[in-house]
Copies of this chain bind each other. A is one copy, B any other.
Amino acid sequence: MPQGQPTEVPDDGLTTRQRRNRPLTIVHTGPGKGKSTAAFGMALRAWNQGWPVGVFQFVKSAKWKVGEERALKVLGASGEGGAVTWHKMGEGWSWVQRDPASSEEAAREGWEQVKRDLAAETYRLYVLDEFAYPMHWGWVPVDEVVRVLRDRSGTQHVVVTGRNAPAELLDFADLVTEMTKVKHPMDAGQKGQRGIEW
């Protein structure tokens, strides 16, 4: 794909360099495949730049995405790019000692850690995988998420995935892609298969 050119130069008082290095909020939403997969693909670029990458999986089951997890951990440990830290709600967040009372509490604990890491500038790319759901369900207040992201320091890019991303987040985000299902093998009685779906 050719490198795009901006259609207009904004009157925001920033230099091109400042604008180029602006921290981005990116959302992958919609009913189609590829929302998380594309986010993990972005993590490959960040790794290649030597950036520390933090993944937070806001899902109960950790069956899916084992391939991406293993690949990014091997890359992170290779010493040839950035470090990769992988947090999973499904197996219990590593910083939480006791079992959460509910998925809602677990999701909130995840968000609290994201806030702490943003404040400490721990990572340069955050993959908040399936984080659209706890916002959609009202477990994590979207207005607080937008405020924290707006006020974050440094150049910390944040990618949020999941269906039904709230409108308030989409309004705030710099880049939103909707993945639309055009055709899926499950429609023809095909079950998910190893190496493709996980």
Contact = CB atoms under 8 A, between A and B. Distances in A.
Given A38-B34, A74-B78, A195 B7 contact: no
A194 to B, nearest CB: 6
A12 B148 CA distance: 53
Interface stretch (A90-98, A107-115, A170-178): A170-178
Interface string A1-44: 11111111110100010011110101011101110111111101
A71 B77 CA distance: 12
One complex includes copies of this chain to the number of 2
Nearest to A66: B48
Contact of A195 (B51, B61, B72): B51
A188 B10 contact: yes
A26 B185 CA distance: 10
Interface in A106-154: 124-125, 130
B38 A33 contact: yes
Contact of A44 (B33, B68, B181): B68
A67 B32 CA distance: 25
Given A34-B34, A78-B74, A193 B44 contact: no
Contact of A181 (B12, B177, B183, B188): B177
Contact of A194 (B39, B49, B198): B49
A186 B41 contact: no
Interface of A: 1-10, 12, 16, 19-22, 24, 26, 28-30, 32-34, 36-42, 44-49, 51, 59, 61, 63-64, 66-68, 70-72, 74-75, 78, 80-81, 124-125, 130, 157, 170, 173-198
